[in-house]
Structure 1
């Protein structure tokens, strides 16, 4: 492409500006600095701002004030809450807006927002809005506002936004903005076509937003439905050759007895709870010689090859984390509730314990691959769960804080991912607050409650098929 140059009349200097030119323009168009075709000005922030009061609204013929919040991208919103009296207005003619012009916010959240002031009635301009007026009749305001609202017109604004936490535009920055200028007749044709097209774009944009929201809601409902089908044994068929959950529980009981003998778990971890269905179709739990009717606790029916079981009976460890002594030394991360999101486990949100406090953590408190981390405190966070994955932890190890319950299933028999899907289901999440204790603002899911949670367990191979099926279906849903 041919190079573009800019000549500075004051010095005669000529400079190549190719890197500022975003695209080629048709023959007959010109690239221009805003300051070459517009008069750009702002008002000094002098004392008249103290007269912008609500009391002035009660005065006869109050004159509205134009502030940054009244300048929206593409449209002007009249200020109905602040005004000055007509008498004061007559003393402040420098800030008066009497004719049609462009306005641009140059400070605050709406920096760069541009609109046309319609001049339907007199207003006064506050010091945080720039007034942009054409130097002659060769520029159409209707075209100019579209040009300044475009990605091209906003390039300089966006550069300022990215460079500082509290961005503001100087008048010189606004004057240096580059916009393409076609002949006046073409400007009017372009603005007319845009005026016709943009309302349709806005209309279809809203329709698309509604469609996107509907898709999100449908996906959410479908996922809930899929999880519910899965945990009730309806997502995949039962296969006789895969055995029964009863046989699996016998293996788990044997494994736990072995772990007790090896000193790897405590004797109290052995639980002789047996849940069975009576001839009257009621559910009972036998602990020692005591048999209790627990039919009211059973949320739904499960296949004959499945078994209801207390969570503690299929885990080697269930315990809250401990309150950490924090440190700025980034060596041993602490998994807090904010690390556990439904989108997954995020180590980036973790703080760190004092390395000197690590010896106070028993080995069992160090998180292991596949541990479930269940948020157990506070509304809004209560019940969220994630699976710990060491591959996502670039540090040597990790521990949990006191608001997170660590659930460590016997992973050779029970899949962490299957338990995750169960605890993410509506069966658990819809009553999580009812299961918790404490004040409204500080609900707590006690360790005892967690250990006593009823879980529907299928045979191990069926657990695998359920997890595979959920992953496949949700992957298809995501597109």
Structure 2
């Protein structure tokens, strides 16, 4: 997650990784010369492990080779030691009882953990849902019972999920487990988590990568003194909690911003955001001028005559607007059309940008386009000779996918767009385009566009766009509304 405001821009996931990296390199907490060094701890672990083997509580494993310089990917403090996981614990592989034997399953004997259920668990300590296998099922599989407070690690599909399990459990073949001996298991969790990229490098397989038991056993981690392990975990979790507080606060702030933003737009479109000015030329006069200009453009054959739009009834008007405003249909104040069709075989890898609905959504947010497409200059000239070229202050609106997202054409824009995907509002009559943009995002218009007065719709067609009912303020008030909205938006970002 990236948390942003005027004074803060933090990639919290990157910050988590940095804290973990500093911790496992011995740079997060100071070393204490009074701590018993890791070399002494390692001797105690070897002795404890030998005793457990003698008592037949664990099996003796094959000796592993000395750790080479190449296996130590970074420097660690002098009192630390590089160790293999098998040096400081017991590694257990998983297994699966036969699925077609009911008595092996559907009991509540032993929790059975898989990578699939681990993937749904985002916490350090496993608290997700799982299946159970019976004691008989365990006995009939290669799986083994693993003691509580061991670490489970997904070793395939995918590699790298990791949890501490607070109860006795077993796993399928997609997991390896680590049961620590005289180490702080919470530290080992963070150490293994940090080493995942190094462990994954040693995976094998073609269809998918897998970490074998041998590879997991021989994987290296830095081992600090025991007291320092505990200090490291305390500091990591202190920082992680602080990051979570930042994220939670940011989410709350974003929700509040969104609510305020919607409220501002709703007030604006009801004439309650800025005061009315009785010196403004009322919207009724603006409408008469538009009708005259439209008639002249039709006469000059610059636009086509369209069918008369239905009268607006009292029942259609969803809320009160100021006296100087008018309820109008969108088609009364724009010439609404689309483009000349461009066939898919006319798309190119370079040339004149060609926008579909998805590109309009992206450029409206100033986002970089993913996999942009183009048409050549000859095709572009041929299409605009028929349908015309979008001019500055025209508005394009998405008609498929995320409906009703507007883009205000800039004076120097050079592009073409897909018919059926995008509705073109030709702004011959100098309506303030930013007013229409904000209008399209208010609650009333989102409902109209997306639900069509209760009807489920998949597209915004030219016919529907023409008939959309909108509140129209005087031209001067449109400008004041836009200025006020933008001032408030800037304040909310600061």
TM-score by length of 2: 0.68
Aligned residue for 1:428? 445
SS in 2 for 1:97: coil
Tell me by how many angstroms 1:178 deviates: 5.2
Is 2:417 the partner of 1:399?
yes
Provide the residue aligned with 1:312 in structure 2.
331
Identify which of 253, 267, 286 aligns with 1:215: 253
Q: How do 1:439-478 residues align onto structure 2 when only pairs under 5 Å count?
A: 440=456, 442-478=457-493
Instruction: Please give the per-residue CA displacement for 1:208-257, whole angstroms capped at 9, x wherever unaligned.
Output: 66654443333222222211222222222334555433443454345435
State the shift of 1:464 in Å: 2.1
User: What runs of 5+ residues in structure 1 fail to find an aligned partner?
Assistant: 274-284, 286-291
Q: Which residue of 2 aligns with 1:68?
A: 115
1:299 equivalent in structure 2: 318
The offset of 1:402, in angstroms, is 0.9
372, 379, 382: which is aligned to 2:395?
372
Equivalent residue in structure 1 for 2:365, among 344, 351, 355: 344
Q: In structure 2, what is the Cα distance between the partners aligned to 1:357 and 1:33?
A: 65
Q: Does 1:128 align with 2:174?
A: yes
Sort the Cα spacing of 1:189 and 1:231 in 2 relative to 1 into closer, same or farther, 3 A. Answer: closer
Query: Shift of the alpha carbon at 1:83?
Result: 1.9
Q: Which has the higher contact order (CA 8 A, sep 6+)?
A: 2
Matching residue within 394, 404, 409 for 2:427? 409
Displacement of 1:141 after TM fit? 2.7
The aligned residue for residue 402 of structure 2 is 381
Task: Please show how residues 52-201 of structure 1 align to structure 2 within 5 Å.
Answer: 52=99, 55-57=102-104, 63-71=110-118, 72=121, 73-77=123-127, 81-83=131-133, 86=136, 89-92=138-141, 95-99=143-147, 101-109=150-158, 111-118=159-166, 121=168, 123-134=169-180, 137=182, 139-149=183-193, 152-154=194-196, 156=198, 168-169=210-211, 174=216, 179-188=221-230, 193=234
> 1:29·1:183 contact (CA, 8 Å) conserved in 2?
yes
For 1:371 and 1:231, locate their aligned partners in 2 and report how far apart those are by CA, in whole Å.
21
Q: How far does residue 424 in structure 1 lie from its aligned partner after superposition?
A: 1.8
For 2:322 and 2:447, locate their aligned partners in 1 and report how far apart those are by CA, in whole Å: 23
The whole-number CA distance in structure 1 between the counterparts of 2:243 and 2:69 is 44
> 1:277 maps to what in 2?
none
Tell me by how many angstroms 1:388 deviates.
4.4
Structure 2: gaps of 5 or more residues: 1-24, 27-63
* CA drift at 1:51: 0.8
SS at match of 2:96: helix
- Aligned equivalent of 2:282, options 219, 235, 244: 244
**Distance in 2, Cα, partners of 1:428 & 1:215:** 25
> Are the aligned partners of 1:105 and 1:114 in contact in 2 as well (CA < 8 Å)?
yes
- Structure 2 residue 227 is matched with structure 1 residue 227: no
Task: Kindly state the Cα deviation for residue 107 of structure 1 after the two structures are TM-superposed.
Answer: 2.1
1:129 to partner: Cα distance:
0.6
Which residue of 1 is the match for residue 38 of structure 2?
none
Aligned length: 422
Cα 1:406–1:160 shift into 2, 3 Å: farther
Q: What do you get for the CA RMSD once the two structures are aligned? A: 4.6
Q: For 1:25-40, what aligned pairs fall within 5 Å after superposition?
A: 25=77, 28-34=79-85, 37-38=88-89, 40=91
Q: Distance in 1 between matches of 2:271 and 2:202?
A: 57
**CA, structure 1 residues 180+456, in 2 after alignment: closer, same or farther (shift >3 Å)?**
same
Does the CA-based 8 Å contact 1:437-1:446 persist in structure 2? no
Whether the 8 Å CA contact 2:355–2:415 is kept in 1: the answer is: no
For the 8 Å contact 2:67–2:83, the answer to whether it is kept is no
